Protein backbone atom coordinates (compact mmCIF):
# COMPACT_ATOMS: atom_id res chain seq x y z
CA UNK A 1 0.00 0.00 0.00
CA UNK A 2 1.11 3.51 -0.75
CA UNK A 3 -0.50 6.92 -0.51
CA UNK A 4 0.78 10.36 -1.29
CA UNK A 5 -0.72 13.80 -0.66
CA UNK A 6 -0.11 17.02 -2.51
CA UNK A 7 2.20 16.07 -5.35
CA UNK A 8 1.52 16.95 -8.98
CA UNK A 9 2.80 13.58 -10.19
CA UNK A 10 0.84 11.60 -7.60
CA UNK A 11 -0.12 8.77 -9.98
CA UNK A 12 3.35 8.37 -11.49
CA UNK A 13 4.99 8.37 -8.07
CA UNK A 14 2.47 5.76 -6.96
CA UNK A 15 3.29 3.57 -9.94
CA UNK A 16 6.96 3.63 -8.94
CA UNK A 17 6.01 2.85 -5.37
CA UNK A 18 3.95 -0.15 -6.48
CA UNK A 19 6.83 -1.49 -8.58
CA UNK A 20 8.82 -1.54 -5.36
CA UNK A 21 6.00 -3.20 -3.45
CA UNK A 22 5.24 -5.76 -6.14
CA UNK A 23 6.76 -8.57 -4.05
CA UNK A 24 3.90 -8.07 -1.57
CA UNK A 25 1.26 -9.08 -4.12
CA UNK A 26 1.42 -10.21 -7.72
CA UNK A 27 -2.20 -10.83 -8.57
CA UNK A 28 -3.45 -7.32 -9.19
CA UNK A 29 -2.74 -3.65 -8.75
CA UNK A 30 -4.59 -0.37 -8.62
CA UNK A 31 -4.20 3.37 -8.20
CA UNK A 32 -6.95 5.80 -7.26
CA UNK A 33 -6.34 9.49 -7.62
CA UNK A 34 -8.04 12.55 -6.18
CA UNK A 35 -7.50 16.06 -7.40
CA UNK A 36 -7.96 18.59 -4.62
CA UNK A 37 -8.42 21.38 -7.13
CA UNK A 38 -11.14 19.92 -9.30
CA UNK A 39 -12.45 17.54 -6.61
CA UNK A 40 -12.39 14.82 -9.24
CA UNK A 41 -11.56 11.16 -8.67
CA UNK A 42 -10.16 8.62 -11.04
CA UNK A 43 -9.15 5.01 -10.60
CA UNK A 44 -7.55 2.22 -12.58
CA UNK A 45 -7.11 -1.32 -11.30
CA UNK A 46 -6.89 -4.76 -12.83
CA UNK A 47 -5.63 -8.27 -12.31
CA UNK A 48 -1.97 -8.60 -13.31
CA UNK A 49 1.46 -7.23 -12.48
CA UNK A 50 1.96 -3.49 -11.96
CA UNK A 51 3.68 -3.23 -15.32
CA UNK A 52 0.75 -4.84 -17.09
CA UNK A 53 -1.91 -2.91 -15.22
CA UNK A 54 -0.21 0.44 -15.85
CA UNK A 55 1.10 -0.22 -19.30
CA UNK A 56 0.57 2.90 -21.33
CA UNK A 57 0.87 6.62 -20.98
CA UNK A 58 -2.79 6.75 -21.93
CA UNK A 59 -3.71 4.88 -18.76
CA UNK A 60 -1.49 7.12 -16.65
CA UNK A 61 -2.89 10.27 -18.24
CA UNK A 62 -6.36 9.36 -17.03
CA UNK A 63 -5.13 9.38 -13.44
CA UNK A 64 -5.11 13.13 -12.98
CA UNK A 65 -4.78 14.56 -9.52
CA UNK A 66 -2.41 15.57 -6.76
CA UNK A 67 -3.13 12.80 -4.27
CA UNK A 68 -3.22 9.07 -4.72
CA UNK A 69 -3.75 5.75 -3.00
CA UNK A 70 -2.31 2.58 -4.51
CA UNK A 71 -2.12 -1.11 -3.71
CA UNK A 72 -0.94 -4.47 -4.96
CA UNK A 73 -3.22 -7.44 -4.58
CA UNK A 74 -2.78 -11.01 -3.50
CA UNK A 75 -5.31 -13.50 -2.37
CA UNK A 76 -4.94 -16.87 -0.82
CA UNK A 77 -8.52 -17.78 -1.59
CA UNK A 78 -10.51 -18.81 -4.58
CA UNK A 79 -11.74 -15.26 -4.98
CA UNK A 80 -8.57 -14.01 -6.60
CA UNK A 81 -10.35 -13.17 -9.83
CA UNK A 82 -12.93 -11.02 -8.15
CA UNK A 83 -11.91 -7.69 -9.73
CA UNK A 84 -14.23 -5.75 -7.41
CA UNK A 85 -12.04 -6.89 -4.56
CA UNK A 86 -8.76 -5.46 -5.86
CA UNK A 87 -7.49 -2.57 -3.77
CA UNK A 88 -7.93 0.31 -3.69
CA UNK A 89 -11.71 0.27 -3.56
CA UNK A 90 -13.21 3.64 -4.35
CA UNK A 91 -16.53 4.63 -2.80
CA UNK A 92 -18.74 7.47 -4.01
CA UNK A 93 -21.28 8.86 -1.60
CA UNK A 94 -23.65 11.78 -1.95
CA UNK A 95 -21.73 13.81 0.64
CA UNK A 96 -18.13 12.78 -0.10
CA UNK A 97 -15.92 10.04 -1.50
CA UNK A 98 -12.95 8.02 -0.35
CA UNK A 99 -10.80 5.16 -1.51
CA UNK A 100 -9.36 2.52 0.77
CA UNK A 101 -6.60 -0.11 0.86
CA UNK A 102 -6.16 -2.89 3.34
CA UNK A 103 -3.34 -5.26 4.29
CA UNK A 104 -3.66 -8.14 6.71
CA UNK A 105 -6.49 -10.32 7.90
CA UNK A 106 -9.54 -9.66 10.10
CA UNK A 107 -10.05 -12.78 12.15
CA UNK A 108 -13.66 -12.01 13.03
CA UNK A 109 -14.58 -10.79 9.55
CA UNK A 110 -17.04 -13.58 8.91
CA UNK A 111 -19.12 -12.97 12.05
CA UNK A 112 -19.25 -9.23 11.44
CA UNK A 113 -20.21 -9.80 7.85
CA UNK A 114 -22.98 -12.17 8.86
CA UNK A 115 -24.30 -9.61 11.32
CA UNK A 116 -24.23 -6.78 8.79
CA UNK A 117 -25.89 -8.85 6.09
CA UNK A 118 -28.68 -9.73 8.48
CA UNK A 119 -29.42 -6.02 8.81
CA UNK A 120 -29.50 -5.61 5.04
CA UNK A 121 -25.95 -4.59 4.18
CA UNK A 122 -24.90 -5.73 0.72
CA UNK A 123 -21.30 -6.82 0.06
CA UNK A 124 -19.89 -6.50 -3.43
CA UNK A 125 -16.71 -8.45 -2.92
CA UNK A 126 -15.06 -10.92 -0.56
CA UNK A 127 -12.47 -8.36 0.40
CA UNK A 128 -11.93 -7.27 4.00
CA UNK A 129 -11.35 -3.78 2.60
CA UNK A 130 -15.05 -3.56 1.94
CA UNK A 131 -15.80 -4.59 5.52
CA UNK A 132 -13.92 -1.52 6.71
CA UNK A 133 -15.88 0.68 4.31
CA UNK A 134 -19.23 -0.56 5.59
CA UNK A 135 -18.22 -0.23 9.23
CA UNK A 136 -16.87 3.28 8.66
CA UNK A 137 -20.03 4.42 6.89
CA UNK A 138 -22.34 2.83 9.43
CA UNK A 139 -20.53 4.47 12.31
CA UNK A 140 -22.50 7.55 13.27
CA UNK A 141 -19.43 9.18 14.88
CA UNK A 142 -18.87 12.76 13.89
CA UNK A 143 -15.53 12.57 12.11
CA UNK A 144 -13.24 10.13 10.40
CA UNK A 145 -10.83 9.64 13.35
CA UNK A 146 -13.72 8.79 15.66
CA UNK A 147 -15.26 6.51 13.07
CA UNK A 148 -11.92 4.67 12.78
CA UNK A 149 -11.87 4.21 16.56
CA UNK A 150 -15.42 2.78 16.38
CA UNK A 151 -14.35 0.32 13.73
CA UNK A 152 -11.17 -0.80 15.50
CA UNK A 153 -13.15 -1.58 18.62
CA UNK A 154 -15.19 -4.05 16.63
CA UNK A 155 -12.52 -5.93 14.70
CA UNK A 156 -9.78 -8.38 15.63
CA UNK A 157 -6.67 -9.51 13.74
CA UNK A 158 -3.59 -8.06 12.10
CA UNK A 159 -4.08 -5.16 9.72
CA UNK A 160 -2.96 -1.87 8.38
CA UNK A 161 -5.38 0.35 6.48
CA UNK A 162 -4.87 3.47 4.37
CA UNK A 163 -7.73 5.73 3.31
CA UNK A 164 -7.50 8.53 0.78
CA UNK A 165 -10.19 11.04 1.69
CA UNK A 166 -10.90 14.46 0.29
CA UNK A 167 -9.28 16.17 3.29
CA UNK A 168 -6.14 14.07 3.50
CA UNK A 169 -4.83 10.58 4.06
CA UNK A 170 -5.97 8.52 7.06
CA UNK A 171 -4.16 5.37 8.12
CA UNK A 172 -4.18 3.03 11.09
CA UNK A 173 -2.52 -0.17 12.28
CA UNK A 174 -3.76 -3.01 14.46
CA UNK A 175 -3.30 -3.04 18.28
CA UNK A 176 -0.25 -5.31 18.00
CA UNK A 177 1.42 -3.36 15.21
CA UNK A 178 1.99 -6.52 13.18
CA UNK A 179 2.46 -4.48 10.03
CA UNK A 180 3.80 -1.00 10.74
CA UNK A 181 3.44 1.72 8.08
CA UNK A 182 6.25 4.10 7.19
CA UNK A 183 5.65 7.83 6.77
CA UNK A 184 7.89 9.77 4.38
CA UNK A 185 8.34 13.18 2.84
CA UNK A 186 9.35 13.96 -0.75
CA UNK A 187 12.91 15.29 -0.95
CA UNK A 188 12.14 18.14 -3.28
CA UNK A 189 8.58 18.85 -2.15
CA UNK A 190 8.49 19.63 1.56
CA UNK A 191 4.73 19.82 1.71
CA UNK A 192 4.19 16.44 0.12
CA UNK A 193 3.91 13.55 2.59
CA UNK A 194 3.37 9.90 1.90
CA UNK A 195 2.79 6.58 3.61
CA UNK A 196 4.00 3.14 2.53
CA UNK A 197 3.93 -0.51 3.58
CA UNK A 198 7.70 -0.78 3.29
CA UNK A 199 10.50 1.74 3.59
CA UNK A 200 12.25 0.48 0.44
CA UNK A 201 9.78 2.66 -1.42
CA UNK A 202 11.29 5.88 -0.05
CA UNK A 203 14.55 5.85 -1.97
CA UNK A 204 12.99 4.75 -5.18
CA UNK A 205 10.65 7.74 -5.33
CA UNK A 206 13.06 10.36 -4.06
CA UNK A 207 11.68 10.61 -0.51
CA UNK A 208 13.07 10.30 3.00
CA UNK A 209 11.95 8.66 6.21
CA UNK A 210 9.88 10.68 8.69
CA UNK A 211 8.10 8.32 11.06
CA UNK A 212 7.12 4.69 11.51
CA UNK A 213 3.69 3.99 12.93
CA UNK A 214 3.44 1.69 15.94
CA UNK A 215 0.84 -0.53 17.54
CA UNK A 216 -2.69 0.91 17.51
CA UNK A 217 -1.84 4.26 15.98
CA UNK A 218 -4.05 6.37 13.72
CA UNK A 219 -2.52 9.01 11.50
CA UNK A 220 -3.89 11.90 9.46
CA UNK A 221 -1.70 13.38 6.74
CA UNK A 222 -2.18 16.51 4.71
CA UNK A 223 0.05 19.23 3.23
CA UNK A 224 0.79 20.60 6.70
CA UNK A 225 2.28 17.34 7.94
CA UNK A 226 0.86 14.56 10.07
CA UNK A 227 -1.12 14.19 13.30
CA UNK A 228 -1.11 11.06 15.44
CA UNK A 229 -3.85 9.52 17.52
CA UNK A 230 -4.46 6.01 18.83
CA UNK A 231 -7.36 3.60 18.99
CA UNK A 232 -6.09 1.84 22.08
CA UNK A 233 -5.81 3.15 25.60
CA UNK A 234 -2.27 2.22 26.58
CA UNK A 235 0.79 2.31 24.35
CA UNK A 236 2.05 -1.11 23.40
CA UNK A 237 5.31 -2.35 21.96
CA UNK A 238 4.90 -3.36 18.32
CA UNK A 239 5.03 -7.09 17.66
CA UNK A 240 6.19 -7.22 14.06
CA UNK A 241 5.29 -10.23 11.95
CA UNK A 242 8.51 -12.28 11.92
CA UNK A 243 8.00 -13.48 8.34
CA UNK A 244 8.64 -9.92 7.14
CA UNK A 245 12.26 -10.31 8.21
CA UNK A 246 12.54 -13.94 7.21
CA UNK A 247 11.40 -13.71 3.60
CA UNK A 248 8.58 -11.32 2.85
CA UNK A 249 10.01 -7.77 2.95
CA UNK A 250 12.63 -6.42 0.58
CA UNK A 251 16.23 -6.42 1.91
CA UNK A 252 16.53 -2.65 1.49
CA UNK A 253 13.56 -2.03 3.81
CA UNK A 254 13.87 -1.22 7.49
CA UNK A 255 11.02 -2.32 9.79
CA UNK A 256 10.80 -1.16 13.38
CA UNK A 257 14.41 -0.01 13.23
CA UNK A 258 15.69 -3.35 11.93
CA UNK A 259 17.12 -3.39 8.42
CA UNK A 260 15.95 -6.52 6.62
CA UNK A 261 19.28 -7.14 4.89
CA UNK A 262 21.09 -7.05 8.19
CA UNK A 263 18.41 -9.18 9.82
CA UNK A 264 18.83 -11.87 7.17
CA UNK A 265 22.61 -11.82 7.46
CA UNK A 266 22.21 -12.34 11.20
CA UNK A 267 19.70 -15.15 10.70
CA UNK A 268 22.29 -16.86 8.50
CA UNK A 269 25.02 -16.30 11.07
CA UNK A 270 22.90 -17.65 13.96
CA UNK A 271 21.93 -20.62 11.83
CA UNK A 272 25.65 -21.34 11.34
CA UNK A 273 26.37 -20.85 15.01
CA UNK A 274 23.73 -23.39 16.02
CA UNK A 275 24.94 -25.81 13.34
CA UNK A 276 27.67 -28.29 14.26
CA UNK A 277 28.07 -29.70 10.77
CA UNK A 278 31.74 -30.18 9.82
CA UNK A 279 31.43 -31.16 6.20
CA UNK A 280 30.49 -28.82 3.33
CA UNK A 281 32.44 -27.72 0.26
CA UNK A 282 30.21 -24.86 -0.58
CA UNK A 283 27.25 -22.81 0.75
CA UNK A 284 24.39 -21.93 -1.60
CA UNK A 285 21.13 -20.07 -1.13
CA UNK A 286 17.83 -20.73 -2.82
CA UNK A 287 17.42 -17.67 -5.05
CA UNK A 288 16.50 -14.99 -4.52
CA UNK A 289 15.12 -14.70 -1.00
CA UNK A 290 17.75 -16.86 0.74
CA UNK A 291 20.95 -15.49 -0.80
CA UNK A 292 21.65 -13.08 2.05
CA UNK A 293 21.13 -15.64 4.80
CA UNK A 294 23.37 -18.01 2.84
CA UNK A 295 26.17 -15.47 2.65
CA UNK A 296 25.79 -14.81 6.42
CA UNK A 297 26.02 -18.52 7.06
CA UNK A 298 29.09 -18.87 4.80
CA UNK A 299 30.82 -15.93 6.46
CA UNK A 300 30.19 -17.31 9.93
CA UNK A 301 31.33 -20.78 8.98
CA UNK A 302 34.24 -19.54 6.86
CA UNK A 303 33.04 -21.67 3.95
CA UNK A 304 32.99 -20.54 0.29
CA UNK A 305 29.67 -19.08 -0.83
CA UNK A 306 28.70 -19.60 -4.45
CA UNK A 307 25.89 -19.26 -6.96
CA UNK A 308 24.74 -22.65 -8.05
CA UNK A 309 21.09 -22.09 -8.74
CA UNK A 310 19.80 -19.47 -11.16
CA UNK A 311 16.19 -18.33 -11.11
CA UNK A 312 14.70 -18.00 -14.56
CA UNK A 313 13.44 -14.44 -14.41
CA UNK A 314 11.19 -14.90 -17.44
CA UNK A 315 9.06 -17.77 -16.19
CA UNK A 316 6.60 -15.62 -14.30
CA UNK A 317 3.17 -16.98 -13.88
CA UNK A 318 2.92 -20.75 -14.05
CA UNK A 319 1.26 -22.11 -17.12
CA UNK A 320 -0.99 -25.12 -16.57
CA UNK A 321 0.69 -27.82 -18.63
CA UNK A 322 -1.53 -30.51 -20.13
CA UNK A 323 0.51 -33.61 -19.21
CA UNK A 324 2.45 -34.81 -16.17
CA UNK A 325 5.67 -34.95 -18.20
CA UNK A 326 5.28 -31.31 -19.20
CA UNK A 327 4.30 -30.28 -15.67
CA UNK A 328 7.56 -31.69 -14.39
CA UNK A 329 9.48 -29.71 -16.96
CA UNK A 330 7.57 -26.65 -15.78
CA UNK A 331 8.94 -27.04 -12.26
CA UNK A 332 12.46 -27.57 -13.57
CA UNK A 333 12.30 -24.39 -15.59
CA UNK A 334 11.86 -22.12 -12.61
CA UNK A 335 15.38 -22.77 -11.38
CA UNK A 336 18.43 -23.91 -13.31
CA UNK A 337 21.45 -25.52 -11.75
CA UNK A 338 24.94 -24.56 -12.89
CA UNK A 339 26.21 -28.11 -12.96
CA UNK A 340 29.87 -27.05 -13.13
CA UNK A 341 29.60 -25.40 -9.75
CA UNK A 342 27.86 -28.26 -7.88
CA UNK A 343 29.34 -31.37 -9.43
CA UNK A 344 30.94 -33.69 -6.86
CA UNK A 345 30.48 -31.17 -4.06
CA UNK A 346 29.00 -31.46 -0.59
CA UNK A 347 26.51 -28.61 -0.58
CA UNK A 348 25.04 -26.71 2.34
CA UNK A 349 21.84 -25.32 0.92
CA UNK A 350 20.16 -22.45 2.77
CA UNK A 351 16.44 -21.77 2.41
CA UNK A 352 14.41 -19.22 4.36
CA UNK A 353 11.51 -21.49 5.31
CA UNK A 354 9.69 -24.70 4.56
CA UNK A 355 5.96 -24.72 4.05
CA UNK A 356 4.77 -27.80 2.22
CA UNK A 357 8.24 -29.11 1.45
CA UNK A 358 7.55 -29.79 -2.21
CA UNK A 359 9.77 -27.01 -3.54
CA UNK A 360 12.64 -28.06 -1.27
CA UNK A 361 12.25 -31.61 -2.51
CA UNK A 362 12.48 -30.46 -6.14
CA UNK A 363 15.51 -28.26 -5.56
CA UNK A 364 17.41 -30.97 -3.75
CA UNK A 365 16.60 -33.35 -6.57
CA UNK A 366 17.85 -30.84 -9.17
CA UNK A 367 21.16 -30.57 -7.32
CA UNK A 368 21.56 -34.32 -6.98
CA UNK A 369 20.78 -34.83 -10.67
CA UNK A 370 23.40 -32.22 -11.50
CA UNK A 371 26.02 -34.27 -9.69
CA UNK A 372 26.08 -32.90 -6.12
CA UNK A 373 27.57 -35.43 -3.74
CA UNK A 374 25.38 -34.53 -0.75
CA UNK A 375 22.91 -31.77 0.08
CA UNK A 376 22.55 -30.53 3.66
CA UNK A 377 19.48 -28.34 3.97
CA UNK A 378 19.51 -25.51 6.53
CA UNK A 379 16.50 -23.30 7.17
CA UNK A 380 16.99 -19.76 8.44
CA UNK A 381 13.73 -19.84 10.46
CA UNK A 382 12.06 -22.22 12.91
CA UNK A 383 9.65 -24.93 11.69
CA UNK A 384 6.26 -23.51 10.70
CA UNK A 385 3.73 -25.42 12.77
CA UNK A 386 0.68 -23.17 12.71
CA UNK A 387 -1.27 -21.34 10.02
CA UNK A 388 -0.88 -17.63 9.60
CA UNK A 389 -4.15 -15.91 10.45
CA UNK A 390 -2.77 -12.39 10.24
CA UNK A 391 -2.56 -11.95 6.52
CA UNK A 392 0.65 -13.57 5.31
CA UNK A 393 -0.42 -15.92 2.56
CA UNK A 394 0.50 -19.41 3.68
CA UNK A 395 -0.93 -22.89 3.51
CA UNK A 396 -3.42 -24.25 5.98
CA UNK A 397 -1.99 -26.29 8.84
CA UNK A 398 -2.94 -29.52 7.10
CA UNK A 399 -0.36 -28.81 4.44
CA UNK A 400 2.43 -27.61 6.75
CA UNK A 401 4.94 -30.41 6.54
CA UNK A 402 6.58 -29.55 9.88
CA UNK A 403 3.27 -30.00 11.67
CA UNK A 404 3.01 -33.58 10.47
CA UNK A 405 6.50 -34.98 10.29
CA UNK A 406 9.53 -35.31 12.55
CA UNK A 407 12.84 -33.83 11.45
CA UNK A 408 14.06 -37.18 10.15
CA UNK A 409 10.83 -37.84 8.26
CA UNK A 410 11.09 -34.45 6.64
CA UNK A 411 14.72 -34.93 5.59
CA UNK A 412 13.69 -38.25 4.17
CA UNK A 413 10.80 -36.80 2.21
CA UNK A 414 12.91 -33.94 0.86
CA UNK A 415 15.83 -36.18 0.04
CA UNK A 416 18.54 -34.17 1.80
CA UNK A 417 21.37 -35.70 3.79
CA UNK A 418 20.55 -33.70 6.92
CA UNK A 419 18.05 -30.97 7.79
CA UNK A 420 18.21 -28.31 10.47
CA UNK A 421 16.07 -25.31 11.44
CA UNK A 422 16.94 -22.13 13.31
CA UNK A 423 15.65 -22.19 16.91
CA UNK A 424 12.97 -19.75 18.06
CA UNK A 425 15.39 -18.30 20.57
CA UNK A 426 18.03 -17.71 17.93
CA UNK A 427 15.44 -16.01 15.74
CA UNK A 428 14.52 -13.66 18.57
CA UNK A 429 18.15 -12.95 19.42
CA UNK A 430 19.17 -12.36 15.81
CA UNK A 431 16.54 -9.65 15.42
CA UNK A 432 16.99 -8.19 18.92
CA UNK A 433 20.61 -7.65 18.02
CA UNK A 434 19.52 -4.78 15.77
CA UNK A 435 16.79 -3.36 17.98
CA UNK A 436 16.19 -4.67 21.52
CA UNK A 437 13.10 -2.44 21.93
CA UNK A 438 10.75 -4.44 19.80
CA UNK A 439 9.07 -7.77 19.80
CA UNK A 440 8.31 -10.41 17.16
CA UNK A 441 5.01 -12.02 16.33
CA UNK A 442 5.79 -15.72 16.33
CA UNK A 443 2.32 -17.21 15.94
CA UNK A 444 3.20 -19.57 13.09
CA UNK A 445 6.08 -21.00 15.11
CA UNK A 446 4.57 -21.19 18.59
CA UNK A 447 0.80 -20.83 18.12
CA UNK A 448 0.60 -17.66 20.19
CA UNK A 449 -2.14 -15.76 18.36
CA UNK A 450 -1.75 -12.64 20.48
CA UNK A 451 -3.95 -10.52 18.20
CA UNK A 452 -6.95 -12.80 18.59
CA UNK A 453 -8.24 -15.85 16.76
CA UNK A 454 -11.77 -14.60 16.13
CA UNK A 455 -13.77 -16.90 13.88
CA UNK A 456 -10.81 -19.27 13.51
CA UNK A 457 -10.85 -20.29 17.16
CA UNK A 458 -12.80 -23.51 16.81
CA UNK A 459 -10.97 -24.57 13.66
CA UNK A 460 -7.64 -23.96 15.33
CA UNK A 461 -8.49 -25.93 18.41
CA UNK A 462 -9.68 -28.87 16.35
CA UNK A 463 -6.44 -28.94 14.40
CA UNK A 464 -4.27 -28.55 17.46
CA UNK A 465 -4.87 -32.08 18.62
CA UNK A 466 -3.50 -33.61 15.45
CA UNK A 467 -0.32 -31.59 15.25
CA UNK A 468 3.13 -33.06 15.56
CA UNK A 469 4.66 -30.58 17.97
CA UNK A 470 7.92 -32.19 18.98
CA UNK A 471 9.92 -29.13 17.88
CA UNK A 472 8.29 -27.00 20.54
CA UNK A 473 9.67 -29.05 23.41
User: Which residues within the stretch 397-426 sit at the binding site for a copy of itself (CB under 8 A)?
Assistant: none
- Which one among 37, 78, 122, 233 touches a copy of itself, defined by CB under 8 A? 122
Residues 372-391 contacting a copy of itself, CB under 8 A? none
Between 380 and 443, name the residue whose CB sits nearer to a copy of itself. Answer: 380
Between 63 and 410, name the residue whose CB sits nearer to a copy of itself. Answer: 63
Between 203 and 222, name the residue whose CB sits nearer to a copy of itself. Answer: 203
Between 237 and 329, name the residue whose CB sits nearer to a copy of itself. Answer: 329
Quick check: 305 binds a copy of itself (CB under 8 A)?
A: yes
Quick check: 344 binds a copy of itself (CB under 8 A)?
A: no
| Residue 95 exposure: Cα atoms within 13 Å on the Cβ side | 2
Between 420 and 434, name the residue whose CB sits nearer to a copy of itself. Answer: 434
Q: Is residue 249 within 8 Å of 197, Cβ to Cβ?
A: no
Quick check: 337 binds a copy of itself (CB under 8 A)?
A: yes
d(CA 207, CA 201): 8
SS (HEC) of the chain? CEEEECCCCHHHHHHHHHHCCHHHCCCEEEEEEEECCCCEEEEEEEECCHHHHCCCHHHHHHCCCCEEEEEEECCCCHHHHCHHHCCCEEEECCCCEEEEEEEEEECCHHHHHHHHHHCCCCCCCCCHHHHHHHHHHHCCCCCHHHHHHHHHHHCCEEEEEEEEECCEEEEEECCCCCCCCEEEEECCEEEEEEEECCCHHHHHCCEEEEEECCCCEEEEEECCEEEEEECCCCCCCCEEEHHHHHHHCCCCCEECCEEHHHHHHHHHHHHHHHCCCCCCCEEEECCCCCHHHHHHHHHHHCCCECCCEEECCCCCCCCCCCCHHHHHHHHHCCEEECHHHHCCCEEEEEECCCCCCHHHHHHHHHHHHCCCCEEEEEECCCCCCCCCCCCCCCCCHHHCHHHCCCHHHHHHHHCCCEEEECCHHHHHHHHHCCCCCCEEECHHHHCCCCCCCHHHHHHHHHHHCCCCCHHHC
User: 293: how many CB neighbours lie within 10 A of its CB?
Assistant: 32
Between 195 and 282, name the residue whose CB sits nearer to a copy of itself. Answer: 282
Quick check: 149 binds a copy of itself (CB under 8 A)?
A: no
d(CA 340, CA 310): 13
Quick check: 365 binds a copy of itself (CB under 8 A)?
A: no
- Which one among 42, 47, 76, 251 touches a copy of itself, defined by CB under 8 A? 251
- Which one among 330, 460, 464, 467 touches a copy of itself, defined by CB under 8 A? 330
CB of 117 to a copy of itself, least distance (A): 5
Interface size with a copy of itself, residues (CB under 8 A): 84
Between 195 and 298, name the residue whose CB sits nearer to a copy of itself. Answer: 298
Residues 61-100 contacting a copy of itself, CB under 8 A? 84, 91-95
| Cα angle value 3/131/171 (rounded, 5°) | 25
Quick check: 312 binds a copy of itself (CB under 8 A)?
A: yes
Quick check: 141 binds a copy of itself (CB under 8 A)?
A: no
Quick check: 317 binds a copy of itself (CB under 8 A)?
A: yes
- Which one among 38, 40, 81, 114 touches a copy of itself, defined by CB under 8 A? 114
Quick check: 448 binds a copy of itself (CB under 8 A)?
A: no
Q: Is residue 252 within 8 Å of 263, Cβ to Cβ?
A: no
CB of 440 to a copy of itself, least distance (A): 19
Quick check: 19 binds a copy of itself (CB under 8 A)?
A: yes
Quick check: 371 binds a copy of itself (CB under 8 A)?
A: no
Quick check: 137 binds a copy of itself (CB under 8 A)?
A: yes
Quick check: 339 binds a copy of itself (CB under 8 A)?
A: yes
- Which one among 1, 3, 10, 50 touches a copy of itself, defined by CB under 8 A? 50
CB of 460 to a copy of itself, least distance (A): 22
Site string for a copy of itself, 190-229 (x = CB under 8 A): ----------x--xxxx-----------------------
Quick check: 120 binds a copy of itself (CB under 8 A)?
A: yes
Between 76 and 204, name the residue whose CB sits nearer to a copy of itself. Answer: 204
CB of 429 to a copy of itself, least distance (A): 19
Quick check: 150 binds a copy of itself (CB under 8 A)?
A: no
Amino acid sequence: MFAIWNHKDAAHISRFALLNLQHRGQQGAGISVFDTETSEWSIHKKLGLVNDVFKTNMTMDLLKGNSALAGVHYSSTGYFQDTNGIDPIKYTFIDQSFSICFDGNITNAMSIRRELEKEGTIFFSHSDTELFAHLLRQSQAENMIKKIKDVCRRIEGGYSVVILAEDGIYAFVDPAGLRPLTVGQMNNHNDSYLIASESCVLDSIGAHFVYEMTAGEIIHIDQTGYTLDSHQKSTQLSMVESMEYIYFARPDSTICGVNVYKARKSLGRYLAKEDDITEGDIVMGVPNSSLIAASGYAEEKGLPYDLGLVKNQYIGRTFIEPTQELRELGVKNKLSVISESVKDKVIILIDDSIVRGTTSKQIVQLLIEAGAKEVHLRISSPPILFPNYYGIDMSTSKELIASKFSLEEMADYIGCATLKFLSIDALKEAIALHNPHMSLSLSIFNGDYHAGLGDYKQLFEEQLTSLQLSYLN
